Amino acid sequence: MEVITMESSAYMALTEQIAEIASHIRKSEDKKAGLPDRQVDSAEAARILGISRRTLQRVRDRHRIRYTTLGGKCMYLLSEIDRFITEHTVTEENGTLDGSSRNHALRTGSTGSNGKTSGRRK
């Protein structure tokens, strides 16, 4: 058996790095375990999002949500629905300029600096 010696500071740095890697792996596993990534049809996706199937079709036509077609049926991954909800959730970050700007864009449908609206009728 061979014995390897190292300074205590190098040993501490190594154990911290191992702990960070383990934490990252646990988070990845928790994320996968929390939301099974299965596909749902348009009716189920619309129900989860709380919108009509026609509104879901508009969202799909504007390429705001990814989908696949199987046998002429549109299918959505649950992880994609979760991403869409997260991306379009108004947060309480009004204390920062970025947070206020993001919330305004989400509430009004504007794209930001160019002042155009996305998908709103006039």
What's the CATH number where 80 sits? 1.10.10
Q: Has residue 45 been placed in a domain?
A: yes
C-alpha angle 26/29/32, rounded to 5°? Answer: 150
pTM assigned to the model:
0.53
Q: Has residue 51 been placed in a domain?
A: yes
Q: Has residue 11 been placed in a domain?
A: no
Q: Has residue 21 been placed in a domain?
A: no
pLDDT band of 39, cuts 50, 70, 90? very high
pLDDT band of 114, cuts 50, 70, 90? very low
Per-residue confidence (pLDDT) for residue 35, from 0 to 100:
54
C-alpha angle 117/64/32, rounded to 5°? Answer: 140
Helix (H) or strand (E) run with residue 76 in it: strand 73-77
Task: Determine the 3-state secondary structure of 68 from DSSP.
Answer: strand
Q: How many folded domains does the chain comprise? A: 1
Cβ count within 10 A of residue 18: 10
Per-residue confidence (pLDDT) for residue 37, from 0 to 100:
79
Q: Has residue 24 been placed in a domain?
A: no
Q: Has residue 14 been placed in a domain?
A: no
Which structural domain range is residue 48 located in?
39-108
Strand 39-41 vs strand 68-70: parallel, antiparallel, or unpaired? unpaired
Q: Has residue 71 been placed in a domain?
A: yes
Instruction: For residues 120 and 122, give the distance between their C-alpha atoms in angstroms, rounded to a whole number.
Output: 6
Per-residue confidence (pLDDT) for residue 89, from 0 to 100:
81
Q: Has residue 23 been placed in a domain?
A: no
With a cut of 80, say whether residue 121 has pLDDT above it.
no
